Amino acid sequence: MSSLPDYTLRFMQYLDLMLLFGLPLFAWYGPVASTIGGDKRSPQPRWALTRGLLVCGVLGLALVGIEIVRSTAGIMGGAVSDLVRDDLAWYLFDTAAGRAGLTRAFLLVLLLAVLGWQSQRAERPFPIRRVTLLAGVALVSLAWNGHAASGEGVSGTVRLVAGMAHLLAAGGWIGAIFALLILFVRHGKPAAGEGLHMLWRALHTFSRPGTVFVGVLVVTGILHYGDLVGWSIAPLFHSRHGNLMLLKLALFAAMLGLAALHRWWLVPRLERDIHTGAPSHSAQHLRLSVTIEATIALLILVSVAVLGTLSPHG
């Protein structure tokens, strides 16, 4: 049975890789890429964006290393200190989880090299597409072992593709939420003027990709659950996996409610206040709402970290 360190490791990997993918993705399709990374007057994304992604990349690489060592020791039934090179080589090259971890580590090293190259050549355009692509493949590698990769044939392929799409959509949504939090810190004051307008543009731009993310999450989540339990709702009420799934669904519904509140009320209200120039607390209300949404997202990732270790029928 998995322990608290295992759950913590899984949670940190999910969060780290989703931010590593979601932040540059938001900068890619959003109108305010430079504000995430620094002074908006600069034509290039700032060093802060590169630095943040570098931190995520280094942390992700360290987490992969810890996972490989802990998983190998767990399979061998011994202590980490008892591992030898042959044990690690067997895990890395002869198991699906090991190959996924090795691939993830390689992608993260390549991503760090790209970011390091960028930090030495600030005059060049930021390689946003390459960074997003590398981080995206590293993120979907989490689905290459576990429930999503446990099927065979056509149904197994559908399950795996659904699992990877689910991860990408979740990463896009969570990355955008934290990017918006950064924008609120930098430009969310009522007297910010142009900053508030930039904040509104970011929120408005996210509405369409956010709808796509939610749609993908709903469809792939239903497909994945139905494939695992045979389209029966009974396991939701008679197993630990099902009970935790119900909690996850409740948290997801809360996030959907907040997203609807943003799109249909708070964001239009902010737009009206910007155009009228009237003093308002719209930005503060939005900041609080996005902060709550980020907190709920973290709780969902905690549930995901545990769900991946439980049997759907146990």
pLDDT of residue 35: 45
Q: Are residues 238 and 139 in the same domain?
A: no
pLDDT of residue 42: 47
What one-letter code names the amino acid at 87?
D
Q: How far apart are CA 230 and CA 222, in angstroms?
A: 11
| Domain limit, last residue, from 121, 145, 169 | 145
pLDDT of residue 43: 42
- Number of structural domains the chain divides into: 2
Q: How far apart are CA 203 and CA 198, in angstroms?
A: 9
Copy the structure tokens of residue 90.
């067997």
pLDDT of residue 227: 79
SS (H, E, C) the chain: CCCHHHHHHHHHHHHHHHHHHHHHHHHHHCCCHHHHHCCCCCCCCCHHHHHHHHHHHHHHHHHHHHHHHHHHHHHHCCCHHHCCHHHHHHHHHHCHHHHHHHHHHHHHHHHHHHHHHHHCCCCCCCCHHHHHHHHHHHHHHHHHCCHHHCCCHHHHHHHHHHHHHHHHHHHHHHHHHHHHHHHHHHHCCCCCCHHHHHHHHHHHHHHHHHHHHHHHHHHHHHHHHHHHHCCCCCHHHHCHHHHHHHHHHHHHHHHHHHHHHHHHHHHHHHHHHHHHCCCCCHHHHHHHHHHHHHHHHHHHHHHHHHHCCCCCCC
Q: Are residues 181 and 295 in the same domain?
A: yes
pLDDT of residue 148: 62
Q: Are residues 9 and 57 in the same domain?
A: yes
**Domain with 23 in it:** 1-145
Q: Are residues 169 and 289 in the same domain?
A: yes
What's the pTM? 0.89
| Domain limit, last residue, from 145, 170, 186 | 145
Q: Are residues 96 and 205 in the same domain?
A: no
Q: Are residues 136 and 247 in the same domain?
A: no
End-to-end CA distance of the chain: 12
pLDDT of residue 41: 43
Q: Are residues 228 and 303 in the same domain?
A: yes
| Domain limit, last residue, from 120, 145, 170 | 145
Contact 274/164 with Cβ under 8 angstroms? no
Pick the closest to residue 23 from 152, 169, 164, 172 (CA basis). 172
Q: Are residues 114 and 156 in the same domain?
A: no
Q: Are residues 177 and 233 in the same domain?
A: yes
Pick the closest to residue 23 from 135, 186, 157 (CA basis). 135
Q: Are residues 166 and 87 in the same domain?
A: no
Q: Are residues 314 and 192 in the same domain?
A: yes
In tens digits, the chain (314 residues) has pLDDT values of 468 888 999 999 999 999 999 999 998 887 655 444 444 444 444 567 788 899 999 999 999 999 999 999 999 988 888 999 999 999 999 998 999 999 999 999 999 999 888 766 656 667 888 999 999 999 999 998 766 666 667 777 888 899 999 999 999 999 999 999 888 887 656 545 666 777 888 888 898 899 999 999 999 998 888 877 777 787 788 888 889 999 999 999 999 999 999 889 988 888 888 777 765 677 888 889 999 999 999 999 999 999 888 877 66
pLDDT of residue 196: 76
Q: Are residues 135 and 211 in the same domain?
A: no
pLDDT of residue 296: 97
Rounded (10°) CA dihedral 251, 253, 255, 256: 170
